[in-house]
């Protein structure tokens, strides 16, 4: 049993509760930093992919997990980020400028999209963003002169501080670049959550009327949330482009949007941890399934045929299981396990129980 | 004449969208949940019927297979509510949306496992027959689709606005607890509605598979139908049909008069426009929440 | 000049007149109660002050400002805080976070200083925390500081809502049925708290309440409403014995 005694307000303001917790996160960071020396190229690539998804997940988490605006169209912003990054690079802008700008441009587009979306709630917002995501495919085809349309675009390595960073040529450097951005975004996110703006996001999510009564401007808050969310998503998109090396109008399809939303739900809505847990699931599920298939094939003889849709089917089942049995996602389960050990042997089963609420109509808002 | 032909085939397509949209609205009206898997239900309904009638599967007579597959889908709808949706009692609308999207993935996966990923057509007695009508040549399937859809929408509309049970179902959606206190068996009502939505999906699937071919990814049509439901104003049955028809008609005309690629864009562009100018659809029911 | 001045305010929902040509003013430092049967338009008056509704006619002035010129979120900036009849807390946040949202109107930092968490943002957080701790001490919420709202019992939520309103450091506190659903002991606590809010903190209180014991115990003046209109205005004793009020509650003597 571990008890954290609080003697200073800074303990609640600092991102970590005590030195023990801080040291755990520092060790984690050191392990992740050292990973390229341990892992082979394939798994390093997978880990890079997980980090990129985690950035995208954090982008969507700001909007959906903390501001309560479900978006089924974030692949559109991945696309905006990816294309603007590559177009800027092709125009001769150095990466150190092009990359941040790609995020900023995507963020501005996101904030502009927020203006009509402000009046929409729940499912209406979901279908609005979903339609947007579907249309992006066609927009890319229609803007062929810039986007390359159906034939798509290619991007090889980038130059940063005199180093050539390439996903295939120098996977370690690429990994560290992604890791650095992940850490920066995570720190910014932590800071956001411990400041008034992050709290106003939560306020808007939980009760718009009382947020207003506390002086929170709903329209402004949602617009900022959209902007920040899309900026971070844009960065993830830029990395996805660099990671894939080639992309076209079908790379950022609606399915990616849905996958991203499901990912943060599985990870745990309303927590930064959730974005990472979800990214780990989505990143390693295909590997896990192919290993499992080989194993099954080895035991029952032979059948290693590809089953189309298997990944999504399994993913869907995992999600259904989580929504039914652990609505707070992996993070929620993790909190319970942690509390169990911290309070051992005083943990009670009903500790995380919520009051039962009945659904009232959402037509009245 | 050409335009009329285009209009009729658009209407027939629109009717299928309308029927899926009807399923969305039915569930939304009575339970306030949004079943994003409705399109996949339709696809499943089509495959169940194909599995029963087509000669390479069971080869039952068409008219015998119809009620069986409608019954199977109604049962599946009921079971889904019983085993999954009911546990979501009190959770947010968005959670149900995400759950049903996941469900759609699972249904597509299962359908792919059973019936494969090749497009298949339902063998039916109407196939290939045509009626000539004052210079117009209409496929029997198209006519059947339109007639069945109008009849079904009409009777469901009357059911909800005229019968006691229908009104009770609407009450259940507005406030579950209050409806429960008023003696409405909320859970049974919900189960019935999901069964009804399953049956409607089966009918839509049968009509769709009779007109064209289905494969597991046909379920994604649900997204377009959902757009149609929103355009028509979620929560109104005739509105859902109207939205479906608008989407169905706008597609062939957009590709004829603008450019081929626009038949995909048009419905969603229209949806965005509707949402921007009438945020809650053309026949909105949303009012300001009382505090 | 009074702190809050409501003049000839009328609000219509379709054909229904929810508030009918209502005028009253609240003086600085008093506890002012609005009573009346259900549907009399009491909460609607609060929602008008909070700018959730636009009045059809009339004016609402607070502390020299025309409230009808500001957005709903601008009302808090002038120093008006409120609670809600059916508790509107931020369910999936801790009590501490809820109270800190109350400090939102005092925010001096911007997006950039917050994301970098500059020393000024840190200072502001410490100040906010100190203010919030004062409220926590005042309302005895120490035990619930880090608890999620979603798991709290009803009575505690009611108090947290008052605390969140107090955390905004208001000049005027609007309490919408502060005692509804509370036990006798909790109602007594609430009574002393309202008294202390006025005396120790110097905050003017405007409340809607059904519990006549609480109303006559703490309020200086009472406004009785029925069907959106003013029935009587005066001290609790005057209003309770007013013939029109008795008629509205008990029906006409035949």
* CB nearest C129 (choices: A9, A215, A224): A9
* CB nearest B288 (choices: A327, A359, A365): A365
* CB nearest C101 (choices: A199, A209, A218): A199
pLDDT at site C171: 92
pLDDT at site C253: 54
Give the residue on C whose Cα is nearest the Cα of A209: C88
Closest CA to B244 of B289, B204, B184, B195: B204
| Region of poorest pLDDT, from A130-134, B231-235, C29-33, C76-80 | B231-235
pLDDT at site A350: 61
Judged by CB atoms closer than 8 Å, whether chains meet at C86 and B288 is answered as no
pLDDT at site B289: 46
Please tell me the distance in Å from A124's CA to the nearest CA on chain B. 7
Q: In the predicted model, what is the mean pLDDT of residues B242-258?
A: 85
Q: What is the mean pLDDT of chain B?
A: 82
Instruction: Place B176 in a pLDDT band, splitting at 50, 70 and 90.
Output: low
At B140, list the tokens: 């029997």
Indicate which of C41, C52, C84, C175 best probes the interface with B, i.e. most B CBs within 10 Å of its own CB: C52
Burial of A55 (0-12, 13-18, 19+ CB in 10 A): buried
Quickly count: other Cβ atoms within 10 Å of residue B124's Cβ: 24
Judged by CB atoms closer than 8 Å, whether chains meet at C75 and A213 is answered as yes
Indicate which of C83, C101, C124, C165 best probes the interface with A, i.e. most A CBs within 10 Å of its own CB: C101
Question: Chain C partners of A200 at a C-beta cutoff of 8 Å?
Answer: 101, 104
Q: What is the pLDDT of residues C142-153, one digit of tens each?
A: 999 888 888 888
Instruction: Place A365 in a pLDDT band, splitting at 50, 70 and 90.
Output: very low
Residue C206 parent element (H or E): strand C204-208
Question: Chain C partners of B288 at a C-beta cutoff of 8 Å?
Answer: 52
Question: Chain C partners of A196 at a C-beta cutoff of 8 Å?
Answer: 100, 103-104, 107, 109, 114, 124, 128
CA distances from C38 to C35, C211, C231 (A): 9, 13, 14
The distance of Cα A301 from the centroid of its chain, to the nearest Å, equals 39
Instruction: Place B77 in a pLDDT band, splitting at 50, 70 and 90.
Output: very high
DSSP letter, residue A147: H
The residue that leads in pLDDT, A168 or C195, is: C195
Please tell me the distance in Å from A349's CA to the nearest CA on chain B. 19
Quickly count: other Cβ atoms within 10 Å of residue B69's Cβ: 26
Helix/strand/coil (H/E/C) assignment for every residue in B134-158? CCEEEEHHHHHHHHHHHHHHHHHHH
Domains along the sequence of chain A with CATH: 1-38 (no CATH), 41-352 (1.10.3470)
pLDDT at site A254: 86
Indicate which of A313, A326, A328, A354 best probes the interface with B, i.e. most B CBs within 10 Å of its own CB: A313
Judged by CB atoms closer than 8 Å, whether chains meet at A316 and B109 is answered as yes
pLDDT at site A79: 93
At C101, list the tokens: 């949202």
Q: What is the pLDDT of residues B28-38, one digit of tens each?
A: 877 778 888 89
Domains along the sequence of chain C with CATH: 1-79+171-254 (3.40.50.300), 91-169 (no CATH)
Q: In the predicted model, what is the mean pLDDT of residues A296-300?
A: 69
Q: What is the pLDDT of residues C104-161, one digit of tens each?
A: 988 888 888 888 898 998 999 999 999 999 999 999 999 998 888 888 888 899 999 9
Q: In the predicted model, what is the mean pLDDT of residues B209-224?
A: 84
Flag whether pLDDT at A204 surpasses 50.
yes
Q: What is the DSSP string of chain B?
A: -HHHHHHHHHHHHHHHHHHHHHHHHHHHHHHS---TTHHHHHHHHHHHHHHHHSTTTT---HHHHHHHHHHHHHHHHHHHHHHTGGGGTTS-HHHHHHHHHHHHHHHHHHHHHHH-SS-EE---TTTT-EEEETTEEEEHHHHHHHHHHHHHHHHHHHHHHHSHHHHHHHHHHHBHHHHHHTT--HHHHHHHHHHHHHHHHHHHHHHHHHHSEE-GGGGGHHHHHHHHHHHT-TT-HHHHHHHHHHHHHHHHHHHHHT-TTHHHHHHHHHHHHHHHHSTT-TT---BPPP-
Please tell me the distance in Å from A139's CA to the nearest CA on chain B. 9
Judged by CB atoms closer than 8 Å, whether chains meet at A196 and C107 is answered as yes
Judged by CB atoms closer than 8 Å, whether chains meet at A364 and B288 is answered as yes
pLDDT at site C34: 92
Q: What is the pLDDT of residues C182-229, one digit of tens each?
A: 889 999 999 999 999 999 989 999 999 888 888 988 999 999 988 888
Flag whether pLDDT at A21 surpasses 70.
yes
At C196, list the tokens: 């202390």
What percentage of chain A has pLDDT greater than the value 70?
90
Distance CA A1, CA A268 (A): 25
Distance CA A283, CA B102 (A): 18
Q: In the predicted model, what is the mean pLDDT of residues A6-27?
A: 82
Please check whether residue C39 is in contact with residue C208, taking contact to mean a CB–CB distance below 8 angstroms: no
Instruction: Place A55 in a pLDDT band, splitting at 50, 70 and 90.
Output: very high
Question: Chain C partners of A212 at a C-beta cutoff of 8 Å?
Answer: 50, 52, 72-73, 76
Instruction: Place A363 in a pLDDT band, splitting at 50, 70 and 90.
Output: very low
* CB nearest B112 (choices: A124, A309, A319): A309
pLDDT at site A305: 58
- Token pair 């005309």: residue: B253
B287 Cβ contact partners less than 8 Å away, ≥ 6 residues apart:
A363, A364, A365
Question: Chain B partners of C91 at a C-beta cutoff of 8 Å?
Answer: none
Instruction: Place A233 in a pLDDT band, splitting at 50, 70 and 90.
Output: very high
A197 at interface of C, judged by CB pairs closer than 8 A: yes
Judged by CB atoms closer than 8 Å, whether chains meet at B102 and A357 is answered as no
Length of chain C: 254
| Region of poorest pLDDT, from A123-127, A272-276, A359-363 | A359-363
Rg (CA), chain B: 19
Flag whether pLDDT at A356 surpasses 70.
no
Q: In the predicted model, what is the mean pLDDT of residues A281-305?
A: 74
pLDDT at site A176: 93
The residue that leads in pLDDT, C114 or A165, is: C114
Q: What is the pLDDT of residues B105-156, one digit of tens each?
A: 899 888 888 888 888 888 777 766 777 777 677 777 788 888 888 898 888 8
A211 at interface of C, judged by CB pairs closer than 8 A: yes
The chains found to touch C (3+ Cβ pairs under 8 angstroms) are A, B
Please tell me the distance in Å from A47's CA to the nearest CA on chain B. 25
pLDDT at site B26: 85
C140 Cβ contact partners less than 8 Å away, ≥ 6 residues apart:
none
């Amino acid at each position: 049993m571990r008890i954290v005694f609080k003697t200073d307000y800074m303990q609640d303001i600092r991102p970590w509760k005590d030195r023990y917790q801080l040291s755990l996160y520092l060790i984690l960071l050191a392990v992740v930093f050292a990973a390229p020396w341990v892992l082979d190229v394939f798994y390093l690539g997978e880990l890079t992919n997980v980090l990129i998804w985690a950035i995208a997940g954090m982008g969507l988490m700001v909007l959906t997990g903390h501001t309560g605006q479900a978006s089924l169209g974030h692949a559109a912003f991945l696309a905006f980020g990816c294309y603007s990054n590559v177009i800027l690079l092709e125009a001769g802008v150095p990466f150190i400028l092009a990359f941040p700008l790609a995020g900023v441009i995507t963020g501005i587009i996101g904030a502009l999209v927020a203006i009509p979306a402000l009046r929409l709630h729940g499912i209406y917002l979901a279908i609005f963003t979903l339609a947007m995501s579907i249309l992006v495919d066609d927009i890319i085809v229609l803007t062929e002169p810039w986007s390359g349309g159906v034939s798509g675009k290619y991007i090889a390595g980038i130059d940063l501080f005199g180093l050539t960073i390439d996903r295939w040529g120098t996977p370690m450097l690429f990994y560290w670049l992604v890791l650095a951005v992940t850490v920066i975004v995570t720190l910014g996110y932590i800071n956001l959550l411990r400041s008034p703006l992050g709290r106003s996001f939560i306020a808007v999510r939980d009760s718009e009327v009382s947020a207003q009564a506390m002086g929170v401007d709903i329209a402004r808050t949602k617009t900022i949330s959209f902007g920040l969310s899309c900026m971070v998503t844009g960065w993830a998109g830029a990395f996805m482009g660099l990671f894939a090396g080639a992309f076209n109008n079908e790379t950022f399809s609606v399915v990616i949007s849905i996958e991203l939303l499901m990912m943060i739900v599985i990870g745990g809505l309303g927590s930064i941890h959730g974005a990472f847990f979800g990214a780990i699931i989505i990143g390693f599920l295909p590997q896990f399934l192919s290993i499992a298939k080989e194993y099954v094939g080895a035991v029952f003889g032979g059948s290693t045929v590809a089953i189309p849709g298997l990944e999504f089917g399994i993913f869907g089942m995992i999600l259904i299981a989580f929504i039914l049995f652990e609505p707070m996602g992996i993070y929620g389960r993790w909190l319970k396990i942690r509390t169990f050990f911290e309070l051992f042997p005083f943990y009670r089963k009903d500790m995380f129980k919520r009051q039962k609420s009945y659904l009232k109509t959402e037509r009245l808002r | 004449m050409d335009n009329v032909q285009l209009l009729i085939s658009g209407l027939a397509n629109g009717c299928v969208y309308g029927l899926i949209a009807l399923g969305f609205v039915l569930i939304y009206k009575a339970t306030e949940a949004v079943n994003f898997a409705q399109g996949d239900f339709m696809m499943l309904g089509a495959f169940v019927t194909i599995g029963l009638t087509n000669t390479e599967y069971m080869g039952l007579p068409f008219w015998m297979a119809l009620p069986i597959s409608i019954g199977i889908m109604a049962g599946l709808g009921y079971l889904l509510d019983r085993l999954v949706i009911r546990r979501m009692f009190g959770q947010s609308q968005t959670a149900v949306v995400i759950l049903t999207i996941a469900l759609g993935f699972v249904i597509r996966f299962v359908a792919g496992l059973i019936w494969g990923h090749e497009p298949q057509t339902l063998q039916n007695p109407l196939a290939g027959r045509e009626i000539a009508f004052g210079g117009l040549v209409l496929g029997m399937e198209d006519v059947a689709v339109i007639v069945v859809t109008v009849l079904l929408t009409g009777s469901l509309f009357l059911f909800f606005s005229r019968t006691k049970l229908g009104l009770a179902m609407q009450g259940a959606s507005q406030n579950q607890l209050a409806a429960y206190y008023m003696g409405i068996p909320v859970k049974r009502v919900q189960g019935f509605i999901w069964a009804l939505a399953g049956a409607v999906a089966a009918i839509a699937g049968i009509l769709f598979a009779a007109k064209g071919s289905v494969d597991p990814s046909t379920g994604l049509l649900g997204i377009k139908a959902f757009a149609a439901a929103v355009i028509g104003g979620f929560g109104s049955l005739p509105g859902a049909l109207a939205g479906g028809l608008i989407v169905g008609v706008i597609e062939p005309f957009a590709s004829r008069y603008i450019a081929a690629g626009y038949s995909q864009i048009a419905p969603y562009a229209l949806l965005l426009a509707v949402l921007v100018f009438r945020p809650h659809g053309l026949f909105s029911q949303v009012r300001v929440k009382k505090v | 000049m009074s702190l809050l001045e409501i003049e000839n305010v009328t609000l219509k929902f379709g054909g229904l007149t929810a508030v009918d040509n209502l005028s009253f003013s609240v003086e600085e430092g008093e506890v002012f109660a609005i009573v009346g049967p259900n549907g009399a338009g009491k909460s609607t008056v609060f929602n008008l002050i909070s700018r959730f509704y636009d009045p059809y006619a009339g004016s609402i002035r607070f502390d020299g400002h025309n409230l009808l010129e500001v957005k709903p979120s601008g009302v808090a900036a002038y120093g008006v805080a409120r609670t809600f009849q059916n508790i509107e807390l931020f369910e999936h946040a801790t009590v501490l976070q809820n109270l800190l949202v109350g400090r939102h109107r005092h925010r001096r930092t911007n997006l950039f200083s917050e994301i970098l968490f500059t020393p000024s943002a840190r200072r502001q957080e410490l100040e906010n925390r100190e203010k919030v701790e004062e409220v926590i001490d005042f309302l005895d919420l120490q035990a619930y500081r880090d608890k999620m709202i979603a798991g709290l019992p009803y009575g505690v939520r009611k108090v947290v809502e008052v605390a969140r309103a107090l955390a905004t450091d208001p000049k005027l506190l609007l309490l919408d049925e502060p005692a509804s659903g509370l036990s006798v002991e909790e109602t007594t606590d609430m009574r002393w708290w309202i008294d202390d809010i006025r005396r120790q903190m110097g905050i003017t209180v405007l409340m809607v309440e059904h519990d006549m014991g609480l109303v006559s115990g703490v309020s200086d003046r009472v406004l009785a409403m029925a069907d959106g209109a003013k029935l009587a205005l005066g001290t609790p004793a005057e209003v309770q014995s007013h013939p029109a009020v008795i008629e509205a509650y008990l029906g006409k003597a035949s």
